[in-house]
């Protein structure tokens, strides 16, 4: 159940292939039930998922964050969930960041390039409530990964960037769809992507949760999402702020 990554182009393909080379399954201890990611996004208005992001292929170094302190600051500012990037090479993350961040008590999304079922088990064992599943990486295996996540008690944020990928996500039975404004092959950002594909998803009868992802810096930029999206995921503009708590408050 490993995706064929030879067909994944650009930066996304490079990162995903490296991730797959590194997977080494081992036996993991159980972890008690984490708080619900889905319920956290269901709250009133547009819920904020704040991301812990130290660096990225598009921005380079962002900030040398302490995951525990960042999670607490995000929580004080009003974030409803935390996205923890655990990819080490391009994003400077690690699995242990989940352990550090979970102290703040908010549901955690393991943000990584899931390319092997073992990565779902890892997410669960390290205390994540949800995992990111990227349709551009998993292709027709998206449904199988979704089912595996469900069995493990994990919510899944199924990420799409094109109408075709949206079709795959809907067909796979995704309950939470993330529309990424950033093209992960080229890293170009277009904030009109999320409203357009979000509308399309609703037209096609999708009644689950919608999350807009990437490129947001100001409250004004969130306006087009209101009434259509349940949540927004913000990384760089928060992680790179001098005062994380204030930065979240300014967006909520």
Task: Concatenate the DSSP letters of all residues of 157-203 into one string.
Answer: EEEE-SHHHHHHHHHHT-SEEEEESB-TTT--B-TTHHHHHHHHHHH
What is the closest distance, in whole angstroms, from the C-beta atom of residue 33 to ligand IGP in the complex?
26
Selected range binding ligand IGP among 3-11, 39-47, 162-170, 235-243, rule: CB under 6 A: 235-243
CA 73, CA 82: separation in Å to the nearest integer?
11
**Residue 197 to residue 181: CA distance in whole angstroms:** 10
Report if residue 92 touches ligand IGP, rule: CB under 6 A: no
CA distance 20 to 5: 9
- Cβ atoms of residues 50 and 249 within 8 Å: no
CA atoms within 13 A on the CB side of 100: 18
- Our finding on whether 16 is near ligand IGP (CB under 6 A) is no
Distance in Å, CB of 51 to ligand IGP, minimum? 5
Instruction: Compute φ and ψ for 42, nearest 5 degrees.
Output: -75, -15
CB of 89 to ligand IGP, least distance (A): 12
What is the nearest approach in angstroms of ligand IGP to the Cβ of residue 31?
23
Residue 183 found at the interface with ligand IGP (CB under 6 A): no
- Min CB(113)–ligand IGP separation in Å: 6
Nearest to 230 by CA among 202, 249, 204: 202
Choose between 193 and 237: whose C-beta lies nearer to ligand IGP.
Answer: 237
Q: Report the C-alpha gap between 40 and 3 in whole angstroms.
A: 30
- Residue from 236, 244, 245, 247 touching ligand IGP (CB under 6 A): that is 236
Indicate whether 165 belongs to the interface with ligand IGP (CB under 6 A): no
**Total chain residues near ligand IGP (CB under 6 A):** 15
In angstroms, give the least distance from the CB of 134 to ligand IGP: 6
Tokens of 114: 């899931």
Interface pick for ligand IGP out of 40, 51, 70, 179 (rule CB under 6 A):
51
142 binds ligand IGP (CB under 6 A): no
Site map (CB under 6 A) of ligand IGP, residues 184-223, x = contact:
-----------------------------xxxx-------
From candidates 37, 40, 46, 53, binder to ligand IGP by CB under 6 A: 53
The helix/strand/coil state of 60 is: strand
| Segment 104 to 133, residues that bind ligand IGP, using CB under 6 A | 111
Distance CA 53, CA 30 (A): 27
Which residues are designated catalytic? 51, 53, 111, 159, 180, 213-214
Per DSSP, 116 falls in state S
Q: How far apart are CA 121 and CA 160, in angstroms?
A: 23
Contact residues for ligand IGP (CB under 6 A)? 51, 53, 111, 134, 159, 180, 213-216, 233-237
């Amino acid at each position: 159940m490993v995706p064929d990554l030879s067909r994944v182009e650009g930066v996304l393909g490079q990162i995903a292939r490296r991730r797959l080379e590194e997977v080494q399954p081992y036996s993991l201890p159980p972890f008690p039930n984490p708080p619900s990611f889905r319920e956290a996004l269901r709250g009133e208005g547009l819920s904020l998922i704040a991301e812990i992001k130290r660096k990225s292929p598009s921005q380079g170094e962002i900030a040398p964050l302490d995951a525990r302190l960042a999670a607490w600051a995000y929580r004080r500012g009003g974030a409803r969930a935390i996205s923890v990037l655990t990819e080490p090479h391009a994003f400077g993350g690690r699995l242990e960041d989940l352990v550090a961040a979970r102290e703040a008590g908010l549901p955690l999304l393991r943000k990584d390039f899931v390319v092997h079922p073992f990565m779902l088990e890892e997410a669960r064992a390290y205390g994540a409530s949800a995992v990111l599943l990227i349709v551009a990486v998993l292709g027709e295996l998206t449904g199988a990964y979704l089912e595996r996540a469900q069995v493990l008690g994990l919510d899944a944020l199924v990420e799409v960037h094109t109408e075709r990928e949206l079709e795959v996500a809907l067909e796979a039975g995704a309950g939470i769809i993330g529309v990424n404004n950033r093209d992960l092959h080229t890293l170009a950002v277009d904030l009109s992507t999320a409203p357009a594909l979000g509308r399309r998803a609703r037209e096609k009868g999708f009644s689950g949760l919608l999350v807009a992802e990437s490129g947001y810096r100001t409250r004004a930029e969130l306006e087009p999402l209101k009434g259509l999206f349940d949540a927004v995921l913000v990384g760089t503009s928060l992680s790179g702020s001098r005062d994380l708590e204030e930065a979240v408050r300014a967006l909520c």
